[in-house]
Each structure stands twice: as C-alpha cells, then as structure tokens.
Amino acid sequence: MCCGTISVAFIALFSRFAVAHRALFDSLSASSYITYLVYYPVVVWLQFALLTVALSPIANGAIVFVGAVVLSWDAVVTLRRVPVIARVL
C-alpha cells in the first residue's frame, strides 16, 4: 500500500511540476521506441568488443552502458533523418 501511494504521489508531483520542455529530453522521448529496438544489438556488440579488455566489471559495465546509450541514440537520430524511415517511425 505504501509503495502504491508513493508511486501515485510521484506521478502527481512530476505531472504538476515537471512540465518544462527540454530539447534533449524531447528528442529522447520521440526516439524512445526505436532506441529500445536498437539498444540491445549495440549492447551485445560493445560487450563482445570489450571481452578481451582487462578492466574491472564495473568499468566494463559503465563503458558499455554509456557507449550503448550514446551510439543507439545517435543511430536513431540519424535514421529519423531518412524520409522513408521517418514516416514509419
């Protein structure tokens, strides 16, 4: 019950006070579904590329996470500039 109440309270707070639009977040919001589809192959590729690198697991995870977010978001923004693909997405 407590978790449900807190979840509804956060939804109400963000609906009320987080109404400012930022270009970065608007771009991420517009590209979210195709980013979801592109993200996993990028993660697998980066993990495979870092397989032989001798770093700590936390460093590898951070590199893969940041790299996957940046590369997949960039790929989606580039794909959305192609007119045929933009109509579908």
Per-residue pLDDT of the chain (89 residues; tens, 9 = 90+): 788 888 888 888 877 776 777 777 777 777 777 888 888 898 999 899 888 888 888 999 899 999 998 898 888 888 888 888 777 77
Would residue 26 count as lying in a domain? yes
Specify the pTM. 0.65
Residue 27 resides in a domain: yes
Amino acid at 75: A
Q: 48 lies in a domain?
A: yes
* Tally of domains in the chain: 1
Residue 52 lies in a domain: yes
* Of the candidates 3, 88, 82, the residue with the CA atom closest to the CA atom of residue 37: 88
What's the CA gap between 46 and 60, in Å, rounded?
Answer: 9
Q: Which domain holds residue 71?
A: 21-88
CB atoms within 10 A of CB 50: 16
